Amino acid sequence: MCLAIPGKLIAITAQLDDTFRTGKVSFGGIQKEVNLFMVPEAKVDDYLLVHVGVAISVVDEEEAKLTFKYLKDMGEVEELEIPSI
Amino acid sequence: MKFLTEYRDPELVTAYLEEIHRITTKPWTLMEICGGQTHSLVKNGILEMLPANITMVHGPGCPVCVTSVSVIDEAIYLSLQPNVILCSFGDMLRVPGSKKSLLEAKAEGADIRILYSPLEAVQLAKQNPEKEVVFFAVGFETTAPANALSVVHADQLGVANFSILASHVLVPPAMEAILSDDENKIDAFLAAGHVCTIMGIEEYYPIAEKYKCPMVVTGFEPVDLLQGILMAIDQLEKGEYKVENQYARSVQREGNKMAQETIHKVFEVSDRVWRGIGNIPQSGYEVNDRYKAFNARIKFDIDIPFAEENKECISGEIMKGLKKPRQCPNFGTKCKPEHPLGAPMVSSEGACAAYYHYAGVNEAAV
């Protein structure tokens, strides 16, 4: 649960207030609502490092893909399968 | 176990390994802090590839492992209060408290929900105004921004039926506690990459200087770990003790400022009891006075007795690097992932569970 998982920002869904700026991020096909407050520079199609529903940095696309593959092989992405409330 | 060709960059893996073997002239003991790194080192068979005189010990970097028995008891107490929904990361449910685990409390009828994010717990509270929703906010610096943001959200939305049970732990004070122990054997640290993505690397300079201990901020993939190990051994062989950043593709020197601001807005630094280690001064976060309405300890006036740890579990010696999992008489016999005596056997990022699953119960100690 400690590792951040990279995913692709596919849409910005809410930006009424900075702290509620939210986007839809795809992690190898699994989509999650992710808070974007801590990555104000993030735009659609960027790859983000996401930890428990909050994006913590923007990362390079190739790096993101390699890291995601590694985490998936290691069984470290199971938390993404927890259904949203 | 993986074969070398399956790694991200097998040629680089081989090159780092050859270089590690070439430059190592003395025995050195290195500690990786992060449980994700421990999992990777053990599952990928890296420990067996290192020179015999390089010892990797596995530090206290798994929040599941270091959350104290008393805090688990607090979470169980809250989950059994009428009208409470206790929300948690899934890994915490099987951790034994003094009498039972959250999973057993759930079987007794407690309303316990596993969530992906603490921000969802605020939504759950909004949807259930007649209930009290408590989020069990464990984690290291990586998780603190999300937990802090949940409190900011609840405050901004006026969701008064939300609170958190904070059990945050911090890496640098734990490193200092380990290095200042009379029995310390650690020559160098691999610091945790994602913790530093949030906090930056400034905090490590005074520790490296004070204890003359190299610190290499390292990622968690095999190629990262081998490069980090090589950088640490290179410093040790040259008699240096610098802070170096192996994981520059994710870690900036100053970290993520907005994440740090969010943490400092909601939390204050506090003493924290670490399971297996004991109290470490100023090694955790607690909700500050400004946001005390969202502190479950205050809201529910929790007052439960301090719980002793299971004396049969040697997790403290393991997390300080004094013993390896297989040196525990209960490893793989009385203590297994299905019925853990202590927390390092619960999570796949705990040293004992990693050894149990991937390195075999009966192999010679590595």
**What distance lies between CA A70 and its chain's CA centroid?**
16
Closest to B250 (Cβ–Cβ): which among A1, A19, A59? A59
Helix B10-23 crosses helix B222-238 at what angle (to 10 degrees)?
20
What is the domain extent for residue B43? 4-62+171-245
Indicate whether B204 and B346 sit together in one domain.
Answer: no
Which residue in A25, A36, A52 has the most chain B C-beta atoms within 10 A of its own C-beta, making it the best mutation to test that interface?
Answer: A52
CA distance linking residue B76 with residue B158, whole number of Å: 26
Q: What is the ipTM of this complex?
A: 0.95
Chain B touched by A20 (CB under 8 Å) = yes
Is CATH 3.40.50.300 the right assignment for the domain spanning A5-79?
A: no
Phi, psi of B349 (to 5 degrees): -90, 0
Same domain, B200 and B239: yes
What pLDDT does residue B364 have?
A: 47
pLDDT in tens, B256-300: 999 999 999 999 999 999 988 899 999 999 999 999 999 999 999
What are the extents of the domains in chain A?
5-79
Chain A residues in contact with B146 by the CB 8 A cut-off are 35, 51-54
Total CB pairs under 8 A between chain A and B: 115
Q: Are strands B162-169 and B278-287 parallel, antiparallel or unpaired?
A: antiparallel
Verify that B127 and B78 share a domain, yes or no.
yes
Domain count for chain B: 3
Q: Considering only CB atoms, which chain B residues are within 8 Å of A63? A: 249
- What is the pTM (predicted TM-score) of this model? 0.94
Return the pLDDT at B311. Answer: 86
Rounded Cα distance between B257 and B4, Å, is 38
**Nearest alpha-carbon partner for B147 in B284, B251, B299, B306:** B284
| Same domain assignment for residues B231 and B175 | yes
Q: Same structural domain for residues B56 and B81?
A: no
Residue B251 lies in a domain: no
**Among B117, B109, B116, B119, CA closest to B85:** B109
Structure confidence at residue B309 (pLDDT): 82
Q: What pLDDT is stored for residue B365 in this prediction? A: 44
The distance of B117 to chain A (nearest Cα, Å) reads: 5
State residue B115's pLDDT score. Answer: 97
> Does residue A35 sit at the B interface (CB-CB below 8 Å)?
yes
Residue with tokens 């939305």: B157
- The reply to whether B175 and B41 lie within a common domain is yes
pLDDT at A15 over 90: no
Nearest to A52 among B34, B143, B349 (CB): B143
For chain B, which residues score pLDDT lower than 50?
A: 1, 362, 364-366
Question: How do beta strands A5-14 and A22-27 pair?
Answer: antiparallel
User: Is the Cβ–Cβ distance between B299 and B166 less than 8 Å?
Assistant: no
Find the residue in A nearest to B34 (Cα).
A2
Per the domain annotation, does B336 fall within a domain?
A: yes
Residue of A nearest to B126 (CA): A85
- Statement to judge: residues B57 and B140 lie in one domain: no
